[in-house]
Structure 1
Amino acid sequence: MRRVVIASLALVGGGLFLAYSLAQPPAVPTPPAPPALVGDGQADDTAAVQGLVDRGGLVHLPKGTYRLTRPVVVDEKAGFTAIQGDTVARVVMAGPGPAFRFLGTHGGSAAPSTMKPVVWERERMPALDGVEIVGNHADADAVEASGTVQLTITRVLIRECRHGIRLTSRNRNVVISNCHVYHNRGIGIFFDGVNLHQTNVTGSHVSYNAGGGIVVRGGEVRNLQITGCDIEANHGKDVPPTANVFIDSTGGTNAEVAITGNTIQHTHDAPDSANVRIKGPSIKWPQADELRDGNVTITGNIMSDAQVNVHLDHARGVVMTGNTLWTAYAHNLLVENSSNVVVGSNVLDRNPRYVREETPATTNAVVFRNCSDSTVTGLHVSGVRAAAAGIAFEKCDRFHVANCTVLDCEPVGMLLKDVTRSRIVGNLIRDDRPGTKSVPLKTEGGSGNVIVE
């Protein structure tokens, strides 16, 4: 218990004496005992859960179904707080807003010098673990966080909500792992205009969310790692075009993203669906006349069954290598208005095992349009149909295209249309199917190129 020393001066016998006394500080009132948890799915357990959270520490939800009608707020008043359900606790959000709202006061960066003492003393690493959250209201979300440091969400199942995990305003150092974000009306994991650096999304299933799987919209996001996840069918048929992974810098600035080692697939019958979509343009920072977007790695992923497997628009500094892509109804790869893009050894194939009666219309095209200062090397493309070419370069400048393999594509293997100051050498372009009339290489317009077939 902290003690307070009170000092006073007294005049005694012609001299001054310093007198000390010890006093206890005012006691911090203990929150009243909360109502008992019911957990039958019928009673309103909001006050009971909020009361436990207000006392801080480990909040354990035993097996049961806990109905909430308003958000449970986790903030600095309670000190360190973790909510745990051991995967047997279900929370039903029967009101608008998130079931759990995590609020912090952090306004700095991730640098230690910007962390206020209250962060380390009362706020750091709020946690949610082992809970199922089910929405039962049109505007019910599962989790929302603002101002937090080291938010950790693990082993959480979210379904039938509007948005799954929504990050707003400003956060730092978020970890989302071993979660199932499944069948929600909006976005699975939503970076909503947030200033957020250092986020790891790992080992999770993010599927059947109609507004997109993992979506960054506006804001300022840096150091986002999406690794080892299964991300599927995050498209609604009656919503604006989205993607399983969508980094949209319109009105914001987002960069430093690693999308590695995931399976990312479905659904081709949603309008303009994409498995990975990186989109700008972003705002220009006032400090410099430059676009602060890009530096994206797309590596070691498996992608299929969408209108577009990978779509880059107004992107910069993107590396794509070691992926396998197939069953793209429009484009396996569409790159527009971008620069400093490196596409390396990827397999873009028409695998006969996946050509069924319902999929003959897959195009699998590869198109670079209005792009500059990029390299395409070691790319393997086969079986492009109903497109201008297997690989088409349209209005591109300063490209280096080398050592690619383009097989059995029609009507043209590689098309160079209005390409300037580029080098195209050492590529294998063939179509040896009986009766084919495919043209290996076709040029239209352009100037200043070195082309060696």
Structure 2
Amino acid sequence: MKFANLTLVFFMMISTCCTASLAAQQGVDAGNHPKKTSTSSDDQIDPRSFANVRLPPFGARGDGRTDDTAAIQAAIDSSERVYLPKGVYLINPQIGLHIRTGTQLIGSGRSSSILIAGPGGGSLSQLANYGPGSIIRRRFAPNNRNPYIAYVRLADLSIVLTHPQKTITSDKIQIGIDFRNVSRSIIERVHVGNSLPIDASIHRTASHVYDSQGYGIVLGTVPSSLIDYSGGELNVIRDSNVWGAFKAIVLDDEILSPRSAAHGTIIEYTDIQGAQTLLSQESIYTRSVTFRNNTLQNVVPQPAGNDQATVLRIDGQDIRVDGGYVEAGGLANYLIRLGPFSKNLIVSLQHISCTNKPITLDQGNENSISYRVDCPTIVRRAP
């Protein structure tokens, strides 16, 4: 109940101040220049407080060819409020963009303000140790004291990953948004993945066969007993889409964040598709997470992959999945996987469709699963 109450307070707080579009709320027009608005005094923000990445002294080009990593980072370092006008901004994945407490990175829309990763990345081991490969991340030093990073907002932009298109990479893996050890923050109206957003100003001719690589959004913590613990709970993802990844959205990834506990996470009204695992929470320590009214669509295993293609996986306790729509496709091995230490989970989905016989596996205790399903399924429960 403690985590649930904290999450509610945070969600109400950030909903009050952060739901309007950039043009209406943040006082920035669709071009390169901030402007004042006629909104209420509570919504008015001094335009001079915005760092526009295209204007001096930052000078990002936004042409999709020039490396804009340093220019955008300079804007983030100089101001909490950073505006990305329409453009395609090339980001070096070996460096990435480093957020700090209070960072608001705001674009003019998912189809127009695009951060595109250059080639490169890291191995799973490097990513687990906060090495290269994350496009948006925080600075973090394992085994050392780290400051808390909180109250970050990402909105109205896209992050497009770049993985090899003829093979599955093991050493050039990318993460779109790495929110490990980031607390009380929000991601809204953001597109992430190897696939492009609708009406994007860039084009790719890829076949999408190898789009099931990398990670869309990652959330997690280190154990609170360790010296490098610095939060990672009470985050919100809403009204976003993650298309094309190995894992689209993952809390407490078993390799990247072992013994993690991303308590109080809320993910809602988000469109997740084209991944080997669409939505997963992978730690036995996590409590009070809510997934509601999300679309989980089209599981796509990696070529020659294993038999673990999954729509929804949960391993924690006191977690609720409510509403939404699932269209698993014909390649999912699992519709729902509830781990052996899961407990008091409530999974209530309105509709599931598929064209094969995926497995609903409940290995936990005192869990409840209900849904209307338009496909033959195999249900397995713990003895």
RMSD after superposition: 2.4
Q: Residues of 2 paired with 1:219 and 1:45: CA distance?
A: 40
Residue 34 of structure 1 deviates from its aligned partner by 5.3
Q: Residues of 1 paired with 2:337 and 2:355: CA distance?
A: 12
Name 1:141's counterpart in structure 2.
Answer: 175
Percent of residue pairs bearing the same amino acid type = 18
Residue 307 of structure 1 deviates from its aligned partner by 4.5
Name 1:404's counterpart in structure 2.
Answer: none
Output aligned runs, 1:262-411, within 5 Å.
262-270=324-332, 273-280=333-340, 282=341, 293-305=342-354, 307-308=356-357, 311-321=360-370, 323-328=371-376, 330-331=377-378, 334-337=379-382, 371=383
Pair 1:310–1:151, CA change in 2 (3 A): farther
Deviation sequence 1:348-401 (CA, Å, 0-9, x none)? xxxxxxxxxxxxxxxxxxxxxxx3xxxxxxxxxxxxxxxxxxxxxxxxxxxxxx
The structure carrying a bigger helix percent of its residues is 2
Query: Is residue 2:192 matched to residue 1:158?
Result: yes
SS in 1 for 2:305: coil
For structure 2, which runs of at least 5 residues remain unmatched after alignment?
A: 1-55, 122-132, 164-171, 195-212, 223-231
Name 1:386's counterpart in structure 2.
Answer: none
Residue 222 of structure 1 deviates from its aligned partner by 1.4
Name 2:278's counterpart in structure 1.
Answer: 213
Match of 1:38 among 61, 68, 71: 61
User: Could you say which structure has the larger radius of gyration?
Assistant: 1
Residue 147 of structure 1 deviates from its aligned partner by 2.0
The structure carrying a bigger strand percent of its residues is 1
Q: Give the counterpart letter for 2:282 in structure 1.
A: R
Q: Residues of 2 paired with 1:313 and 1:228: CA distance?
A: 21
Residue 51 of structure 1 deviates from its aligned partner by 0.6
Indicate the structure whose relative CO is greater, using CA pairs within 8 Å and at least 6 residues apart.
Answer: 2
Q: Residues of 2 paired with 1:217 and 1:34: CA distance?
A: 43
Pair 1:39–1:150, CA change in 2 (3 A): same
Name 1:396's counterpart in structure 2.
Answer: none
SS in 1 for 2:183: coil
Pair 1:202–1:239, CA change in 2 (3 A): same
Name 1:341's counterpart in structure 2.
Answer: none
Q: Is the 8 A contact 2:325 2:350 kept in 1?
A: yes
SS in 2 for 1:317: coil
Q: Is the 8 A contact 2:102 2:153 kept in 1?
A: no
SS in 2 for 1:53: helix
Q: Give the counterpart letter for 1:135 in structure 2.
A: L
Match of 1:178 among 239, 247, 255: 239
Residue 232 of structure 1 deviates from its aligned partner by 0.9
Q: Is the 8 A contact 2:106 2:157 kept in 1?
A: yes
Greater alpha carbon shift after TM alignment, 217-226 vs 189-198: 217-226
SS in 1 for 2:71: helix
Name 2:78's counterpart in structure 1.
Answer: 55
Q: Give the counterpart letter for 1:229 in structure 2.
A: N
Match of 1:73 among 98, 121, 145: 98
Q: Residues of 1 paired with 2:286 and 2:188: CA distance?
A: 21
Q: Give the counterpart letter for 1:182 in structure 2.
A: W
Match of 2:117 among 93, 112, 116: 93
Q: Give the counterpart letter for 1:71 in structure 2.
A: G
SS in 1 for 2:354: strand
Q: Is the 8 A contact 1:180 1:204 kept in 2?
A: yes
Q: Give the counterpart letter for 2:67 in structure 1.
A: D
Q: Residues of 1 paired with 2:360 and 2:323: CA distance?
A: 18
Q: Is the 8 A contact 2:352 2:374 kept in 1?
A: yes
For structure 1, which runs of at least 5 residues remain unmatched after alignment?
A: 1-32, 106-115, 283-292, 338-370, 372-453
Residue 300 of structure 1 deviates from its aligned partner by 4.0
Q: Give the counterpart letter for 1:259 in structure 2.
A: V
Q: Give the counterpart letter for 1:198 in structure 2.
A: G
Deviation sequence 1:27-75 (CA, Å, 0-9, x none)? xxxxxx8541110000000100111111131110000000011211113
SS in 1 for 2:344: strand
Residue 99 of structure 1 deviates from its aligned partner by 1.0
Q: Is the 8 A contact 2:86 2:113 kept in 1?
A: yes
SS in 2 for 1:222: coil
SS in 1 for 2:72: helix
Query: Is residue 2:313 matched to residue 1:246?
Result: yes
User: TM-score, with normalisation over the residues of structure 1?
Assistant: 0.55
Q: Residues of 1 paired with 2:249 and 2:325: CA distance?
A: 16
Name 1:354's counterpart in structure 2.
Answer: none
Q: Residues of 2 paired with 1:48 and 1:81: CA distance?
A: 15
Residue 269 of structure 1 deviates from its aligned partner by 3.3
Name 2:152's counterpart in structure 1.
Answer: 126
SS in 1 for 2:221: strand
Pair 1:229–1:148, CA change in 2 (3 A): same
SS in 2 for 1:145: strand
Deviation sequence 1:110-151 (CA, Å, 0-9, x none)? xxxxxx9x75xxx43111111111112442221001222212
Deviation sequence 1:242-262 (CA, Å, 0-9, x none)? 311112x4xxxx111111111
Name 2:138's counterpart in structure 1.
Answer: 102
